[in-house]
Amino acid sequence: MMNAAGVACMTVEELEGVKNSAAGTFVTKTATLEFRQGNPEPRYQDVPLGSINSMGLPNNGLDYYLDYLLDLQEKEPNRTFFLSLVGMSPEETHTILKKVQESDFRGLTELNLSCPNVPGKPQIAYDFETTDRILSEVFEYFTKPLGIKLPPYFDIVHFDQAAAIFNKYPLKFVNCVNSIGNGLYIEDESVVIRPKNGFGGIGGEYIKPTALANVHAFYQRLNPEIQIIGTGGVLTGRDAFEHILCGASMVQVGTTLHKEGVGAFDRITNELKEIMTEKGYESLEDFRGKLNYID
């Protein structure tokens, strides 16, 4: 279990909080080459069944996160951490990834192909041609372990087309899913976040069925060397159990972590262990991917 990128990962203080919790690891806030202020506030709102956000990629810039991770890997050589990144253009993405390639970073890199909140910039992963081109260019020089963060897909043909592209590359993982993009939450007669007239990415309880469908669709289609990170709608140990049943090797917690703080990792882990004990499962391998169908 770990945080989902965007939650509790903007500053070193927040990252230390996740690191020192029951989480197995953390991922840093998606970094661009330079510091970004992001969109005007209010830009994140917890709501009863989840959350809505249009942060606009605020972050401290690649060097901030990379310097911290380089320092940390000397102090904690037996742990592995995730660096999330994306450029504001394909060129910037390559500049960033080349910096990571040339650095001593030994962790996992997550290329975020699914940021829905920067005005005028569509999500890369909804454009299959661009996605394929970027990945083919990246793997010409990038030799460290790399995975991608994906938005939810909603059509079986899109699962097929996306998986056919991802299977061409030596990806270490795909992370399903980012928020469901561009929802609208209304209170009384008003939106609840300022950017984009209230449109924002939806997380939390709302998105679990979509998240599970994406985890399982890619589990069914991807080469077994590509592991799946399950993200979306994890409030309880039962939710984490379902992600693993659908094929997840790791589970991320976003909205719930924002609502509850890092104590969520301990609670969810204990709830998951209790379910496993009840069912007589001793390891995750006993049930990972073993979702039952009705004949």
Q: Which residues bind ligand DHB (CB under 6 A)?
A: 6, 30, 38, 54-58, 112, 114-117, 178-179, 201
Q: How far is the CB of 32 from ligand DHB (least distance, A)?
A: 9
Neighbours of 19 (CB within 10 A): 19
Known catalytic residue at 9: no
Q: Of 45 and 73, which CB lies nearer to ligand DHB in the complex structure?
A: 45
Q: Of 30 and 255, which CB lies nearer to ligand DHB in the complex structure?
A: 30
Cα–Cα distance measured from residue 9 to residue 68, given in angstroms and rounded to the nearest whole number: 12
Q: Of 17 and 151, which CB lies nearer to ligand DHB in the complex structure?
A: 151
Q: How far is the CB of 190 from ligand DHB (least distance, A)?
A: 20
Residue pointed to by tokens 């890619």: 218
CB-count burial class (<10 Å; 0-12, 13-18, 19+) for 40: exposed
Q: Of 6 and 87, which CB lies nearer to ligand DHB in the complex structure?
A: 6
Q: Buried (b) or exposed (e) across 49-67, using 16+ Cβ within 10 A?
A: ebbbbbbbbbbbebebbbe
Q: How far is the CB of 272 from ligand DHB (least distance, A)?
A: 25
Q: How far is the CB of 123 from ligand DHB (least distance, A)?
A: 9
Q: How many CA atoms within 13 Å lie on the side-chain side of 133?
A: 9
Q: Of 119 and 263, which CB lies nearer to ligand DHB in the complex structure?
A: 119
Nearest CA to 247 out of 269, 267, 275, 218 is that of 218
Contact assessment for residue 176 and residue 228, using Cβ atoms and an 8 Å cutoff: yes
Helices (H) and strands (E) in the chain, counts: 9, 13
Catalytic residue among 9, 115, 176, 246: 115
Neighbours of 276 (CB within 10 A): 18
Nearest CA to 268 out of 241, 249, 294, 231 is that of 241
Q: Of 113 and 276, which CB lies nearer to ligand DHB in the complex structure?
A: 113
Sign of the alpha-carbon torsion through 70, 73, 75, 80 = positive
Neighbours of 132 (CB within 10 A): 17
Beta partners for 117? none
DSSP letter at 19 equals: H
Q: How far is the CB of 206 from ligand DHB (least distance, A)?
A: 14
Q: How far is the CB of 77 from ligand DHB (least distance, A)?
A: 29
Residue type, 38: G
Task: Just list the catalytic residues.
Answer: 115
